[in-house]
Amino acid sequence: MLENRKILLCVSGGIAVYKAVALVSKLSQAGASVKVIMTQSAQQFVQPLTFQVMSRHDVFTDTFDEKDSSVIAHIDLADWAELIIVAPGTANVIGKLANGIGDDMVTTTLLAATAPIWIAPAMNVHMYDHPAVKRNIQQLHEDGIRFIEPSEGFLACGYVGKGRLEEPEKITQLVETYFRRELKLTGKKVVVTAGPTRERIDPVRFLTNFSSGKMGYAMASAAAEMGAEAILISGPVSLSVPSGVTRIQVESAAEMLEAVEAHFATADYVVKTAAVADYRPKKIADQKIKKQQGESSIVLERTIDILNQLGQQKTHQVLIGFAAETNNVSKYAKDKLERKNADYIIANDVSEAQAGFESDTNRVVVYGKNDFEQAFDMMPKQQLAHQLFEMIIEKETPYDR
């Protein structure tokens, strides 16, 4: 299953270090090549020798203990890895990484890595609930790091609650699924648009909307994780670039159209999550508009409808649009599918709590040709992005159409 996959396991200091030994064993049995780095604290729980024997590789514990003079170990290991797992992930390591601190072999290597990083936290239930830990986890989420949620149960500290390191079998399954998925978009180019656009009124004002860009960033991140060349054309948002994704930043609808068109001919999948302005001011004032007595108005003109434009130009591309609506979602989505010559419209009701713009979760219904319709439950946008690609890839064979 994991033949020749290169997995770097970073072990930090908690009781669950013993489970990390089992994880190395499971990953190795599945065929992966596993290298291990341990923090000083982790070595209080299990000796490096145990990991060395289980992984059949040297174990790295000290940034300044350079075993091979031809390389710098933490850079070399970061470059070597296809996937990095931090298990168990202590509150301390999570805090350090969220703040860019690299003061030992584990954190220095994590900062040097471009491969996806997964953290499997394990700690006392109150530590896990601490606002500082929650803040750090949120920050790392935004930095594109994936978390393997701890499970609930009896904790070594005597408490019962959330904080148990996920079982090694389960983590191994997630790794296998990840690499299986990865293959599915290898060799494909996926172009994703995300976020709002800004249409200038004058030098200090603009028209925009509440799109956070989270769904689009999740789609681009999932595409990259599944092996695609992922191009993310993004309006102004405060999210960082997901690992493995090339981001092109734009401002207006016109700039977004230009950027999409530049990549359209070579794209296999085009996913339009951006909330593009339908109208823009007909005239952009050169100077700041001064306030006046009484009412004022701005004359608006239509922007070019990007999805519609791409629908006309489509040759082999699979065109996926998003519809964010507050009412009559199904009717509008089906209509949009038809009018714009899209292959799929993914519709969500943005008036629903925990769905749509600012939320980290979403619930959608996908509409496709020939009355295809599939509903997805409420789930984190990252997970939903993977499931949407899985579904679309299954239904599509873009080169055979």
Ligand X SMILES: Cc1cc2nc3c(=O)[nH]c(=O)nc-3n(C[C@H](O)[C@H](O)[C@H](O)COP(=O)(O)O)c2cc1C
Residues engaged in binding ligand X (CB under 6 A): 12-16, 39, 41-42, 88, 90-93, 122-123, 127
Nearer to ligand X, 86 or 270 (CB): 86
Q: Residue 353 half-sphere exposure, CB side, CA atoms within 13 Å?
A: 0
Nearer to ligand X, 1 or 127 (CB): 127
C-alpha dist (Å) from residue 182 to 106, 224, 229, 232, 263: 25, 8, 11, 18, 22
Is 282 assigned to a binding site? no
Q: Which residue is nearest to ligand X (CB)?
A: 14
Distance between the two ends of the chain, CA-based, in angstroms? 30
Nearer to ligand X, 23 or 271 (CB): 23
Nearer to ligand X, 55 or 136 (CB): 136
Residue 365 CA to chain centroid, in angstroms? Answer: 20
Is 214 assigned to a binding site? no
Minimal CA–CA distance to 219: which of 209, 208, 228? Answer: 228
Q: Do residues 122 and 83 touch, judged by C-beta distance below 8 A?
A: no
State the nearest-atom distance from the C-beta of 91 to ligand X, in Å.
Answer: 4
Q: Do residues 78 and 113 touch, judged by C-beta distance below 8 A?
A: yes
Q: What string of DSSP letters covers 226-251?
A: TT-EEEEEE-S-SPPPPTTEEEEE--
231: which residues sit within 8 A by CB, 6+ positions away?
189, 190, 191, 192, 220, 245, 246, 248, 263, 267
Active site residue 157: yes
Is 35 assigned to a binding site? no
Is 154 assigned to a binding site? no
Give me the catalytic one of 46, 157, 365, 379.
Answer: 157
Is 314 assigned to a binding site? no
State the nearest-atom distance from the C-beta of 14 to ligand X, in Å.
Answer: 3
The residue type at 23: L
State the nearest-atom distance from the C-beta of 72 to ligand X, in Å.
Answer: 21
Which residues are known to be catalytic?
157
Known binding-site positions for CTP: 278, 288, 322, 336, 340
